[in-house]
Each structure stands twice: as C-alpha cells, then as structure tokens.
Chain A
Amino acid sequence: MQTQHPVIKRGGLYWDRDALPPAIFSNRLKTIQRTIAEAGDDAWLMYGDAQRYGPVAYVGHFLPRTRSVLVLVPRSGQPVMLASVGPRDVPAAKTLTAIEDVRPFTQLPREAIRLLMEQRLGQAKVGLVGARGQLSAAEWQAISSELPEIDWRQRDDVFNRLRAAKEPAEQAMIRKAHEVVQTGLDVAGTTLKPGATLREALAAADKAMRQAGAEDVRLLVGVGGGSLRPPSDATISPSQSLSLLAAAEVQRYWAEAARTYGASAALADQAVDAMVATAKPGANAGAVADAARAVLSSATGWTDTTADAYGLGHGIGLDADEPPVIRASSSETLVAGAALALHVVLPGSIAGRTVIVGGNA
C-alpha cells in the first residue's frame, strides 16, 4: 500500500552477504544479459530512486537512500552504476552493492550520456527498465535528445517477469521482513493505549522494527472509522478502535501486515483468509480479489467501497508495491514463489499479511 515517503532511508543500511551472497547477483546478471540478448537489445538502462529501486537492487543489491541511481547492463561484460552521491560517499556506496564500477553523479543526463558513449552505444538498441514510472521527464528529454540514434525500448514487462517468482534467498528475506513487521504490530499492541498520542505509541513500534534490522519503516493508522494516515499528535481515547498498517524493508525486501486494536476484525480477517486460500500457483489474481469480495458481499452486501478504495493487495518484494495488482479485473496468473501483500480495509477494522504463493509464510 502507498505510504508516506521519507526524505531519506535511515535504518541500518548494509549488505548481509551471508543472507544474499555475491553469487546470487552474478547469476542474476547472467539471466539479465541472456534476456537482453533474447530481446535483441545491446544493453539495458535500469533506473531506480529511493521510492522504487527494485530493478537496481535486483541486479546489484544497491538502493539509493535519497534521490536516484542508474545501472547500465551491457549484453556482455560488467555493469556500471551511476549513483547520486558525492565522491566522498562512493566508498560507502560500494559496500552496499555487488556492482564494482560505481561512479558518482550530480547531473544524471550528463553522466548517462558519457557512459553510453563510452560503451559505444550511441547507435544501439537500449532497453529501459524502471524509467517510465520514475525517471523525470526533464532528465529523459536531456538524455534522449543528445542521443537521437539510440533505439530505445521499454522493457519493464520483460524484466518484471524475471523477478515475479522470488528466489529462496528472497523468500527468506521477505519472511524476515514480515517477522519484523509482526514485531512492530506486537509492540503497538502494548503502546496504543488511551492517553498516549498516536505518534508516541507508534514511535515505540518504529523503534522495535528498526532495532530488528529494518532499513525503512512505514506506518499508517486509522482511528475509529477514519481513513488510514501517518501518525499524528492525536490522543487515543478510551474504547477507540485503531487500524494499523505496518511495512518494513529488510535487506531491500519489503513485507507488510495489518492489525486492528480495540475492535473485532473478524470480517476483514475472513476476507484475507479467503484470498490466502485462493492465492495458489496458477490462480488468477482477479480470482483472489473475488474471494475477498465474496466474503464481504455475503456479510455486507458490498455496499461499502472502502476496501476497493484501498485495494485488496499487490505483489511485494524489492519494491513495496509490485505487480500483480489484486483486483477483480486482473487477469494475471500467479506463479509459485510470488510474494503478495494482501489486505482488507473496512471502516473501523483492517487485516492483512504478506504471503508467498505456494509457500508456507
């Protein structure tokens, strides 16, 4: 689910090489380069920023704590990373990534053009990954206008298929992130008490998640039947129900879950359970949404659109929000190993968790 984006990632940032050894990234590089060749491209430009960094983390485990990063992956040879850090920050940046050639930039277009020319790609076929949704139009204009002979191709769909099924190490990280989220939800259960402000109570949950290794933490809270929102200074009243959605990022991998305090969330829980039961390998993403809607419809007649407004879920992994979208119209087929964040938000209650399709999380 969308949450408030911070100005910088400020949890513990490092590369856990035991959990995600370098061999994972060299294998991924081979897979990406094979896909580049199969697509008839000469190279891919993979873009990410602090909000959505999935493509660059997939190829090299790096994430920008602020601003952006661009990775050039040639059809053969080693990738090059341009990171929006100062020269003094390059040594620290290198500790976070499997990519050896890390270069700083202040003006992305200038350095990207220089890199493409250096790699003799001025008249090549170059795929773009992560650029359409995140790269600024101004930067794209500056790059593409200087390199008019490059044949640019959007490759988001091809790339997303590569990472739809999570590898075992990725599943382990998503489970770890989910444990961290559950820790936060447990702590919130002890601190969300009458008389405390939402901000005070949830600061404790935030701390527990960061101390458990979260690189980033997101919390949205709804009071009574009100909408989900970032924590405020509002004081919790007696007998007030609270809906809390928590997300955490551990070693670049996200998980999210939700819990209701002070009220029953039986209906929301049933709807999520129905989605989990339906989310099997080969199932249709739309059928997963239909399972929740059937539960809600039988209980409420589906007159409330709250759950629709918040959505019923989406893929999750290196980005907090990945394909597929869990909605009635979705025709995507779920693959074994896909990670899904499933949630149901109703007025006054919420339920949600992250699951691995075909797994046991």
Chain B
Amino acid sequence: MADVKADLAQRLERVQGAMREQGVGSLVVYSSGQHNMLRMDQLFYLTDFRCIGPSVLLVPSSGPTRLLVTPVWELDRAREAAGVSEAKGVRAEDLAEAIRQEAHELPGPVALSGRDVISMGLAQELGIAGYADGESYADGELLIPSLAGTRTPVEVERVTKSAHIADAGFQTLCDAARVGMREYELHAEVEAAMQAAGSEDNFGLMGAGAHNVAIRPATERRLEPGDLIIGEITPCYQGHFAQLCRTFILGEPSDLQRQKFNMLLEAQDKGFEAAKPGLPSSGIAKAVNGVISAAGYAEYCRQPYMRTRGHGLGFGGVVPYDVTEDSSPVLQENMTFVIHPNQYIPETGYMMLGDTVVIEANGPRCLTETPRRLFWKS
C-alpha cells in the first residue's frame, strides 16, 4: 500500500515549488464545503480532508500549512487527516476575520484559489467586493490543478478501489431490479451496496423507461417489463471518484437494441485506441463520434443527444476535464478519466456504456471490471 503521508508531502512540495517559481508568496485555498464533480477539490488535494463547512488552507511558499475549519466541532477530524499539519476551528461567523488576520501574517504576494465559490457575502466581509480588479489577492485558481493532471500511486489506488465499488453497485442493480419496484427504491439498493463497500459519496444518476431521452435522477416511477435502465454510477472512495455507465434491460433485448449497443461497444473500442500518451484528448471524442456518425447518427453527436465522450475523474473535475472534439489537453501516463460513448439513439432511446481508465505507456487500462456488454434479466 502506498504511503499516504509521503504522497501528500510530495504534493505540497510540488505546489510550493510552483509558487516559488511563479513568485507567489502564499496561497489561500478556499472550499465552501459544497462538493462538485466539475470542480477539483483543491483543499482535499493538499490535506486529505473533505470538509463539511467552509474551510481555508493557508499555504506559504515554504514551510507547513495551516487549516481554518468550520464548524468548530470538525477540528478533531481535520487534525486526523494525513495532510493537515496545523488546524484551527473557527465559527462560521468569524471566518472572514480569521482569514483576514491569517492572510495578513503570510508572506506576500498572496494568491487566492476559490474565487468562484466564495459567496458574495463572504467576499464583502473579506473586503474584496471590487473582486475583478484583483487588488487584494492575485489569481491562484489554476496553480494546483496545473500540477494535478496525473494521479500518484496513492491516487490510482483509490480510484481503482472506487472503480471496484462501482462494479459492486452495478452488480447490485442487476440483482435487485424487478418489475414493480420504484426507481428510487432500486437506486437506494445500489447506493447502500456501495456505501457498505466503502463509498462515501456518489455522483449517481439512474433513469428507466421504454425509451429514455437522457440520463436523469431516479423518480417514483415503477419499473415495467422491457424497461431500459441506464445507470451512471460514480462512487467516491477516500475522496476519489470513478465512474461506470451501463445499460440493463428488464427483459430480453431486441435485435435492434443489441445492434445499437454493439455500436457503442465499437465506439468505445475506438475511443480506447485513441487514448494513448502524447495524443490529444480530442482524439478520443473524434474516434467515438466517427463510429457513431458512420452508423448514420452524425447529427446526434451533439447536445442534447449526448454530452461529452468522457471526463477527468479523481477528486472532482480534473484534467483532461470534458472530452470533446475541441478539448485540448494532451494525454499523459497516469491520467484517470472515464470514456463513455453514452448516446441518444432515435430507435432505442438513450443507451449508456462507460468505463474508468488509467492511461499507461501502451494505452488505457480499465479500472472498472464489469464486462463490457449489454445486461438484461428475463
């Protein structure tokens, strides 16, 4: 098992090295406590602490960091986190003043990450109401994400575990799904199985119907014979997400459904072939879209019929972010992301297929182990 403390120390060294190179004296990393799949959790990246309330990590360009955490009773848990060297509990109403005081003592110039999640009220209390002019803080938003595009051994281990939890979740979906069950009851089964296996969060979506238009949240609808159940299962293990997308039919699939799902399999294969170190991530989307377009669905390779052909996965949104024909990041070894040719098809409705991969020297290695096929239960 990889050494978490050493891994976190190396992350901090990399960040502080970049700060010195860029002339940043200190970095204030703010997290609102509202976690978001599309935003990298920078505070977690340096602390291994997934905060409940608004919290701030103060990072000097050398030396130990200091964490300000709300609510006050979270202090014990914060202190136990592997990347926290010094922590202080602060009442929410005192946070602005605490940040001001601490930032005043930090070596300058001081940069800030988290502008996009600081509320207008807190910004006013911090005296940065004239926000766009950057008078108070330099822009430090991209400093950490630029260093966190690839996963360390600890991170790969956690994403892998998360992928296996997703496999367990989908297996539960297959076992538990039955006609007459409400969608949310099935979702609860999947959720509980993954929590018991170690999941602490889940970007989980699950829709069902004879002809799904898109993936959506579970509703009170009861499952019916012939339903296509589409699942985007995204558990989180020790702060790291992995995703599995599959299609399950409550009944025997038709030839048409098999044929269209085979198209997604072929598209995903082509996407895998394009996922090699040194190649642009846009190549994956082009490869996937190529197969689907050749099958006569070129006009469906855009919103609202699909969203992206994949996206970065780790602690929230990470490089390569959304995989589209316009995405620019170049693939590197140890990037982790999902490749999913999820697609609305006019004849069958929305079908899903997606797997989390890690990029290795020869190409992608699937971390999810669920067989890549159409699932059904007669």
The chain A residues found within 8 Å of chain B, CB to CB, are 2-14, 16, 49-51, 65-67, 86-89, 91-92, 95, 131-141, 145, 199-200, 202-204, 206-207, 210-211, 213, 226-231, 233, 306, 309-310, 345
Contacts and interface: CB of A to CB of B under 8 A. Distances in A.
Given A140-B120, A200-B196, A203-B192, 5 more contacts: A12-B182, A14-B220, A134-B119, A210-B192, A345-B73
B53 interface: yes
B371 interface: no
A216 to B, nearest CB: 11
Contacts of B53: 2
A317 B326 CA distance: 44
A259 to B, nearest CB: 18
Interface stretch (B13-21, B31-39, B97-105, B152-160): B31-39
A2 B52 contact: yes
Which 4 interchain pairs have the tightest Cβ spacing?
A12-B184, A88-B304, A137-B123, A210-B188
B86 interface: no
B118 A92 contact: no
Contact of B191 (A5, A16, A206): A206
B34 A50 contact: yes
Contacts of A135: 119-120
Interface in B236-295: 236, 241
Contact of B205 (A8, A134, A213, A230): A8
A149 B123 CA distance: 22
A224 to B, nearest CB: 12
Contact of A233 (B198, B214, B344): B198
Contacts of A12: 182-185, 187, 217-220
A199 B238 CA distance: 13
B135 interface: no
Contacts of B200: 4, 199, 230-231
A6 B201 contact: yes
A5 B34 contact: yes
Contacts of A210: 184-185, 187-188, 191-192
A210 B206 CA distance: 14
Contacts of A67: 36
B59 interface: no
Interface string B31-61: 0011111000000000000101100000000
A233 B33 CA distance: 22
B178 interface: no
Contacts of B214: 86, 88-89, 92
Contact of A66 (B36, B77, B131, B196): B36
A73 to B, nearest CB: 19
A227 B76 contact: yes
A92 to B, nearest CB: 4
Interface string B105-122: 000000000011111111
A130 to B, nearest CB: 10
A226 B196 CA distance: 22
Interface string B76-89: 11000000000000
Given A10-B218, A136-B119, A207 B303 contact: no
A131 B120 contact: yes
Nearest to B132: A141
Contact of B196 (A3, A203, A306): A203
B71 A204 contact: no
A29 B131 CA distance: 34
Contacts of A16: 220
A207 B191 contact: yes
A138 B203 CA distance: 26
B150 interface: no
A68 to B, nearest CB: 10
A73 B182 CA distance: 35
A88 B217 contact: no
Contacts of A140: 120, 123
Nearest to B182: A12
A288 B12 CA distance: 47
Nearest to B184: A12
A323 to B, nearest CB: 14
B30 to A, nearest CB: 11
A203 B195 contact: yes
Contacts of B217: 9-10, 12-13, 65, 92
B142 to A, nearest CB: 14
B332 interface: no
A92 B236 contact: no
Contacts of A211: 184-185, 188
Given A207-B192, A227-B74, A6 B202 contact: yes
B189 A88 contact: no
B204 interface: yes
A11 B187 contact: yes
B101 to A, nearest CB: 20
Contacts of B208: none
Nearest to B316: A7
Contacts of A231: 195, 200
Contacts of B213: 88, 91
B72 interface: yes
A50 B198 CA distance: 24
Query: Which of B119, B122, B189 is packed against the most chain A CB atoms within 10 Å?
Result: B119
Contact of A132 (B74, B120, B196, B203): B120
Contacts of B52: 2-5, 230
Contacts of B203: 7-8, 10
A59 to B, nearest CB: 20
A230 B238 CA distance: 12
